Amino acid sequence: MKGLKIAVLGLVVLVGVLLFTVRRLTQQAAAGQAQESASAPAAPEPPLAAPAPAAAPVEQPAKPSPVRNTKRPVTQPRAAQAPAAPVVAEARRVEPPAAPAPAAEPARPEPAAIPEPPPAPPAPRHVTVPAGSRLSIRTQNTLSTERNFAGDTFSASLAEPLVVDGFVIAEKGAEVEGRVVRSDKAGRVEGVSNLAVELVRLHTADGQKLSIATNLHEVHGERSRGSDAKKVGVGAGLGAIIGAIAGGGKGAAIGAGVGAGAGGGAVLATRGEHAVINSEARLSFQIRTPVEVTERR
């Protein structure tokens, strides 16, 4: 009986040793396989496939939950497993979507014709009225030494247009301004009155007022010597007639002397004739200095 127990115990020990040895061999084989897999060259990565158009997700059937086996599996020695073959994804060529046809361009309207700008106005002309140019005028009021004095102004109008190099500076009838330069009355017994005028301003056809300088136009009053002699003679004759009536021949001589004296007194009390320029009189002047004229636009 004791020998049977020893035999069973030895058998159990032998089975344990065999199981340990098998387990040890299995672990060594697995380690060697792992070393071979690590030393093997890595398989080339497959080319990436063009992205496939997104597809609607496909519903997969639900997997049945695994049933757990409550029984403990018997430990078996692990056989050497072959390395898993790399999975190469099959590349699929995906055609790109066709580009949409270009839309036809709308017809462009023809540009409207641009009107040509109006021509630039001509540059204003510059004209010089030379010295010596004549101005013919007509007075608009009467001037005389009786009521006009030096410095008085008067108005007149052009009797003829003023034209220089084909350019009308002032038209016929244009306004002209003048000035009295001298107004001298005649003295007693003898002497002559004197009236002198000049032009100072001309109104042009485009509305400008040009300052001008002209020569003087002078007029003189009539001399009074003839009328003075008549006055003395008439006085002497009247005195002689009165003296003859009063006292005969002697009275006539006395009366003639008295009458002559009275006539001489009348001459001393009066002056000569006034110098006069009548209204609507046509006078002529000459410009003394050149005048620059720029046409006004």
pLDDT tens per residue, range 102-143: 666 777 777 777 888 888 888 888 999 999 999 999 999 999
pLDDT tens per residue, range 147-181: 999 999 999 999 999 999 999 999 999 999 999 99
Mean pLDDT of 203-214: 94
State how far the Cα of 216 lies from the Cα of 188, in Å rounded to an integer.
26
State how far the Cα of 252 lies from the Cα of 174, in Å rounded to an integer.
66
Q: Burial of 273 by CB count in 10 Å (0-12 exposed, 13-18 middle, 19+ buried)?
A: middle
Q: Burial of 104 by CB count in 10 Å (0-12 exposed, 13-18 middle, 19+ buried)?
A: exposed
| 3-state secondary structure at position 263 | helix
pLDDT number for residue 232: 45
| 3-state secondary structure at position 266 | helix
pLDDT number for residue 272: 77
Residues of the chain with pLDDT > 70, as a percent, come to 59
Mean pLDDT of 28-49: 64
pLDDT of 15 strictly over 60: yes
Contact 158, 178 (CB under 8 A): no
pLDDT of 2 strictly over 70: yes
Check residues 240 and 181 and name the one with the higher pLDDT.
Answer: 181
Smallest Cα–Cα separation from 182: which of 168, 171, 170, 192? 192
| Residues contacting residue 123 through CB under 8 Å, at least 6 positions apart | none
Check residues 35 and 64 and name the one with the higher pLDDT.
Answer: 35
Contact 83, 41 (CB under 8 A): no
Angle at 213 between CA 211 and CA 217, to 5 degrees: 130
